Amino acid sequence: MRPPEAHSRGSDADVLAERQAALVRALVAGSPVPHGFDTEAVAAAARALLHKRAGEVARRCPLLVHACGEDFTERFIAWAADKPKTSTASDATAFAEYAGIALRTSGPSRMSFLRRRR
């Protein structure tokens, strides 16, 4: 049998792990901000992460940005706000599908614009 202190530490670690997971979900998946965190600060950090993510997709697939026009960043952020990132390539592919833009892969990691679906 474990001493009460060890059991207590295990529970504290579990609580901390769940709070950390909830914070990460709030930052990257649009989940509510957990109790005890500054809502405005978490929202600002989440927006910054979304902008960073949009920039990564823009660098990876500039023709996707061209196809979307000047509002690429705003459209991408609106789409990505509740979707956790898996990879830049999958973000680009999923966003293009959502936006009705066909992408062609030429090589294992290079993406290019084919046509805009109407």
Residues 113, 63 contacting (CB under 8 angstroms): yes
Q: For 5-19, what is each residue's pLDDT tens digit?
A: 545 556 899 999 999
Mean pLDDT for the stretch of residues 26-50? 95
Residues 9, 27 contacting (CB under 8 angstroms): no
Q: Indicate yes or no: pTM above 0.85.
A: no
Identify the pLDDT of residue 102.
87
Q: For 50-98, what is each residue's pLDDT tens digit?
A: 999 999 999 999 999 999 999 999 999 999 999 999 999 999 999 999 9
DSSP assignment string, 4-32? HHHHHHHHHHHHHHHHHHHHHHHHHS-PP
Identify the pLDDT of residue 8.
53
